[in-house]
């Protein structure tokens, strides 16, 4: 299971001690003197992978003059054994070999999901411009790699909004714990569990879209395909290293089966595509499978900072104000700054929200909540600097000058995708409506509560 062995590590043999990683680590987990090999304090690490993105200590892809042969290193990292790219000191142990073996066998009905931020980044691995939007080619390539069903995390992002929006409305109406915190970033959740356990009740009880999708595959999806749940192998393609840890959390199997069996990062997906000999650049555009692959614009903006908030507001407004939201673009929650306070008029009340990009920026707000001085109802926190488009599993920029540019281009493409989609609000997604009619009942209902919600607490760490 991927989550049990996916801790982020620094290989002392390749580390130069430059400490660029320590500068970006949001929890000060990197220890060591300048010029000496660094190590990660695993008790503090929240597995965001930002150190992997910035690491500049590497072994050449061509030589073997280090003590440990390259093939042994690749095997330790669960990477392709013939990989010809530099091996960096900071890395996570992947799942490439595991998933490749499952796909080449006949044992499982394989169902894949793909996060919003992957479709604006995977093309970069094939020499296409930074941020190129390729949902159609992504669906096509996943089918050619051999997945039985090509579904989508974006669908589950819409599902998350249905549940999270209903939870926020319920907390407001019943005077329950506020402010509510988003729970779709597992690194943020782990941070609250580790460092602010007294504030755990503020986290939404919703599972993340990855986990919601996985549990739907093993229940509703398995029934649709007339396959036994124990024959379904559920794979998630993510921009995020921490999603590997999240999938392995012990409580993430409420259906009786693990929601997600393996998580591949965007970079690992590129390895699979290359290993299969597929020319990504010439692929035709295809669609994700229905019904669990149909998504709205609200689902797709989960990939950028402010996206979860904007998606939630599109639905919460219509519930609380009891009238249609004329303009789905809520541009005030968008932007690059670390903290954005936005107040929205919804019916008879003013909803005060905060969007936080970059975990360190959340610290003053958490202290306000702890002191009982928070003046907002709902807070989105994404650990990575621009949200998931800048996640630790995304294509690595070798030149620092490209990093900010790539984040900007991926963000622009995400909003472009939202604007082009025929449905912009999660509750208007017809596949979501059908799922509630046929299987879940209603948001926060009995089945939803059992499968789509969880309890966060420190001792559940896997
Ligand atoms: S994975 Fe994130 S939290 Fe862990 S050491 Fe690296 S930067 Fe720090
Ligand atoms: S912001 Fe996204 S990519 Fe970064 S740790 Fe959170 S979920 Fe993962």
Q: Which of 114, 134, 347 is nearest to 209 (CA)?
A: 114
Q: Which of 161-165, 275-279, 318-322, 340-344 has the lowest mean pLDDT?
A: 318-322
Please report the atom of ligand 2 found closest to the CA of residue 188.
6
> Quick one: pLDDT at residue 260?
98
395 Cβ below 6 A of ligand 1 = no
320 and 408 part of one domain = yes
> Quick one: pLDDT at residue 163?
96
Count of residues making up the chain:
462
Instruction: Give nearest CA residue, ligand 1 atom 6.
Output: 51
Higher pLDDT, 452 or 316: 452
436 and 292 part of one domain = yes
Q: Domain ends where: 78, 93, 108?
A: 93
89 and 161 part of one domain = no
Closest ligand to 40 CA? 1
For the segment 294-306, the average pLDDT, to the nearest whole number, is: 96
Percent of the chain clearing pLDDT 70 (strictly above)? 97
308 Cβ below 6 A of ligand 2 = no
Q: Is residue 167 part of a domain?
A: yes
185 Cβ below 6 A of ligand 2 = yes
Q: Taking CA 353 as the corner, what is the angle to CA 350 and CA 355, rounded to the nearest 5 degrees?
A: 160
Instruction: Give nearest CA residue, ligand 1 atom 8.
Output: 25
391 Cβ below 6 A of ligand 2 = yes
Q: Which CATH number do you get for residue 441?
A: 3.40.950.10
Q: Domain ends where: 93, 111, 136?
A: 93
Distance 255 CA to ligand 1 centre (A): 31
Which residue out of 21, 26, 45, 382 has the highest number of ligand 1 atoms within 8 Å of its CB and is therefore the one to mutate?
45
Q: Which CATH number do you get for residue 21?
A: 3.30.70.20
Q: Domain ends where: 56, 74, 93?
A: 93
255 and 339 part of one domain = yes
Distance 297 CA to ligand 2 centre (A): 19
Write the pLDDT tens digit of every residue in 337-355. 899 999 998 878 899 999 9
86 and 170 part of one domain = no
49 Cβ below 6 A of ligand 1 = yes
222 and 320 part of one domain = yes
Distance 4 CA to ligand 1 centre (A): 17
Q: Is residue 51 part of a domain?
A: yes
Distance 16 CA to ligand 2 centre (A): 27
Please report the atom of ligand 2 found closest to the CA of residue 184.
7
Q: Which of 133, 137, 160, 162 is nearest to 150 (CA)?
A: 137
> Quick one: pLDDT at residue 6?
54
Q: What is the DSSP letter of 439?
A: I
182 and 39 part of one domain = no
Residue 312 has pLDDT above 60, yes or no: yes
Q: Is residue 128 part of a domain?
A: no
- The range of the structural domain enclosing residue 14 comes to 6-93
78 and 163 part of one domain = no
Compute the mean pLDDT over every residue in the chain, rounded to the nearest whole number.
94
> Quick one: pLDDT at residue 319?
85
Q: What is the DSSP letter of 72?
A: H
Which residue out of 28, 48, 391 has the highest number of ligand 1 atoms within 8 Å of its CB and is therefore the one to mutate?
48
Distance 281 CA to ligand 2 centre (A): 27
Distance 381 CA to ligand 2 centre (A): 9
Write the pLDDT tens digit of every residue in 1-12. 444 445 899 999
Percent of the chain clearing pLDDT 90 (strictly above)? 87
For the segment 13-21, the average pLDDT, to the nearest whole number, is: 96
Write the pLDDT tens digit of every residue in 32-67. 999 999 999 999 999 999 999 999 998 877 666 678
459 — pLDDT class (breaks 50, 70, 90):
low
Active site residue ranges: 164, 167, 184, 204, 243, 246, 251, 388
**Contacting residues for 338 by C-beta, under 8 A, at least 6 apart:** 356, 357, 358, 361
Q: Is residue 98 part of a domain?
A: no
Please report the atom of ligand 2 found closest to the CA of residue 387.
1
Closest ligand to 382 CA? 2
304 Cβ below 6 A of ligand 2 = no
Element (H, E) at 369: helix 363-370
For the segment 201-224, the average pLDDT, to the nearest whole number, is: 98
362 Cβ below 6 A of ligand 2 = no
387 Cβ below 6 A of ligand 2 = yes
**Contacting residues for 425 by C-beta, under 8 A, at least 6 apart:** 296, 297, 298, 314, 315, 318, 325, 328
> Quick one: pLDDT at residue 28?
97
Q: Which of 251, 291, 243, 288 is nearest to 268 (CA)?
A: 243
Write the pLDDT tens digit of every residue in 56-99. 998 877 666 678 888 899 999 999 998 888 899 999 989 999 99
76 and 215 part of one domain = no
Q: How far is CA 257 from the centre of its chain?
A: 21
383 Cβ below 6 A of ligand 2 = yes
121 Cβ below 6 A of ligand 2 = no
54 and 178 part of one domain = no
159 and 89 part of one domain = no
187 Cβ below 6 A of ligand 2 = yes
Write the pLDDT tens digit of every residue in 155-184. 999 999 999 999 999 999 999 999 999 999
Instruction: Give nearest CA residue, ligand 1 atom 2.
Output: 48
Q: How many domains does the chain fold into?
A: 2
> Quick one: pLDDT at residue 320?
84
> Quick one: pLDDT at residue 429?
97
Write the pLDDT tens digit of every residue in 367-385. 999 999 999 999 999 999 9
For the segment 209-223, the average pLDDT, to the nearest whole number, is: 98
As a whole number of angstroms, the distance between CA 37 and CA 441 comes to 54
For the segment 256-273, the average pLDDT, to the nearest whole number, is: 98
Whole-prediction pTM value? 0.96
**Contacting residues for 256 by C-beta, under 8 A, at least 6 apart:** 229
């Amino acid at each position: 299971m991927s989550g049990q062995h996916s801790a982020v590590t620094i290989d002392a043999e390749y580390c130069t001690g430059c400490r660029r990683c320590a500068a970006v680590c949001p929890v000060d987990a990197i220890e060591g003197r300048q010029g000496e090999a660094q190590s990660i304090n695993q008790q503090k690490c929240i597995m965001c992978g930002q150190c992997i993105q910035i690491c500049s200590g590497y072994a050449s892809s061509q030589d073997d003059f280090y003590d440990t042969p390259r093939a042994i290193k690749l095997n330790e990292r669960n990477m392709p054994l013939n990989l010809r790219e530099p091996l960096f000191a900071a890395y996570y142990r992947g799942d490439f070999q595991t998933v490749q073996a499952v796909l080449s066998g006949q044992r499982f009905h394989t169902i894949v999901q793909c996060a919003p931020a992957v479709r604006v980044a995977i093309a970069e691995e094939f020499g296409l411009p930074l941020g190129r939007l390729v949902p159609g080619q992504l669906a096509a390539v996943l089918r050619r790699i051999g997945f039985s069903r090509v579904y989508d995390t974006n669908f589950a992002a819409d599902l998350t909004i249905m549940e999270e929006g209903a939870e926020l409305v319920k907390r407001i109406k019943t005077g329950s714990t506020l402010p509510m915190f988003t729970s779709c970033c597992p690194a943020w959740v782990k941070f609250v569990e580790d460092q602010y356990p007294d504030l755990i009740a503020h986290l939404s009880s919703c599972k993340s879209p990855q986990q919601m999708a996985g549990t739907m595959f093993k229940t509703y999806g398995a029934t649709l395909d007339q396959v036994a749940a124990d024959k379904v192998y559920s794979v998630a393609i993510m921009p995020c290293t921490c999603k590997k840890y999240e999938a392995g959390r012990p409580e993430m199997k409420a259906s009786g089966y693990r929601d997600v069996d393996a998580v591949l990062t965007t970079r690992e997906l590129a390895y699979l595509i290359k290993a299969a000999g597929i020319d990504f650049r010439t692929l035709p555009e295809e669609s994700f499978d229905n019904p669990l692959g149909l998504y709205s614009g609200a689902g797709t903006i989960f990939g950028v900072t402010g996206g979860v908030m904007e998606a939630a507001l599109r639905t919460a407004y219509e519930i609380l104000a009891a009238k249609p939201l004329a303009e789905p673009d809520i541009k005030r929650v968008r932007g690059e700054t670390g903290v954005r306070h936005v107040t929205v008029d919804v019916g008879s009340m003013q909803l005060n929200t905060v969007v936080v990009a970059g975990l360190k920026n959340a610290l003053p707000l958490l202290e306000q909540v702890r002191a009982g001085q928070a003046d907002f109802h709902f807070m989105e926190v994404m650990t990575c600097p621009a949200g998931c488009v800048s996640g630790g599993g995304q294509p690595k920029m070798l030149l620092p000058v490209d990093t900010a540019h790539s984040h900007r281009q991926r963000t622009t493409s995400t909003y472009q995708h939202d604007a082009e989609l025929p449905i912009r609000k999660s509750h208007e997604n017809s596949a979501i409506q059908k799922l509630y009619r046929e299987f879940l009942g209603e948001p926060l209902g009995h089945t939803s509560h059992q499968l789509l919600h969880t309890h966060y607490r420190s001792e559940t760490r896997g």
